[in-house]
Amino acid sequence: MAARMTGRAVTEVRPLSATLAEVTLDGGQVVMVKRQDAPGGIAAEAAGLRWLGQAEAVGVPAVRGHDGRWLVTDRVPAGRADGPAALRFGRELAALHAAGASAFGSPPPGGPADASIGLAPMRNVPGDDWPSWYAEHRVLPYLRRAVDDGTLRPAESAAIERVCERLPELAGPAEPPARLHGDLWNGNVLWGADGRVRLIDPAAHGGHRETDLAMLHLFGCPRLDEVLDGYAEAAPLPAGRRDRIPLHQLFPLLVHTVLFGRSYATQAVVAARRTLAL
């Protein structure tokens, strides 16, 4: 696969998981080869990486080739998360968001509307109003599936439905569509040996910039306070952002409820109740 997409012979393959391998090419270059079977997943990821890269803000690995199931990208030599790298990451993330998108929910140019986040389907449907778009296309589809699957009890869904009803008053100041990574948990943040972060595995779309930041809070990020300092230095955040973190975490928590089960359902209900208590 790597040889076909890069035009260079493969000299070594080191599997890292069932779907990811580190491949050395003739001449010594190392690339990552990833397989994903979700419909539209690889096409969406490749388009997302290119779209994020076009912002010339946060680094992303170059895409060397892809087809319906396979993606080949450059490897990111590993470094460590230190203060200067964290501040730089924050500033670059702000610049990525500021690059914008044509609408909330807009897919990357050339990317499919039917994409994925992890192994869950994610449909990119453009909208002009963030509160109604977030409720209809990011929260409610996963809430309905979690209830249908029996992972989240119908009585528990009431708090999340109430958040959706009150979103216009809970969402904070209106913001233009930001260019989001869309799945910004720590595992998708690679601290490079050159002192610069690279982002991988995007579920890129037009969204609210606080959603990416809430993902960093949810699953942890080294030196997060310094990342946020760098971000605020480049693009000050509106008042009340920290209070809105649970609101923006509802989407990834419900995705994880659908994929991984009951413990995330409990967290989603807690996030909804915290949001309603504002």
Q: Within a 10 A sphere around the Cβ of 77, how many other Cβ atoms? A: 11
Q: Is 183 a catalytic residue?
A: yes
Angle between helices 245-260 and 209-219 (to 10 degrees): 60
Name every residue whose Cβ is closer than 8 Å to that of residue 200 and which is 6 or more positions away in sequence: 49, 60, 61, 73, 76, 188, 190
Q: What is the rounded distance in angstroms from the CA atom of residue 215 to the CA atom of residue 199?
A: 13
Torsions phi, psi for 13 (to 5 deg)? -125, 125
Q: Give one DSSP letter per residue of 248-265, joined into a string.
A: HHHHHHHHHHHHH-HHHH
Q: What is the rounded distance in angstroms from the CA atom of residue 87 to the CA atom of residue 251?
A: 27
Q: Within a 10 A sphere around the Cβ of 144, how many other Cβ atoms? A: 14
Contact 33, 21 (CB under 8 A): yes
Q: Which amino acid is at 245?
A: I
Q: Within a 10 A sphere around the Cβ of 18, how many other Cβ atoms? A: 7
Give me the half-sphere count of Cα atoms (radius 13 Å) on the Cβ side of residue 231.
22
Contact 143, 157 (CB under 8 A): yes
Active-site residue identified among 74, 183, 201, 243: 183
Tell me which residues are annotated as active site: 183
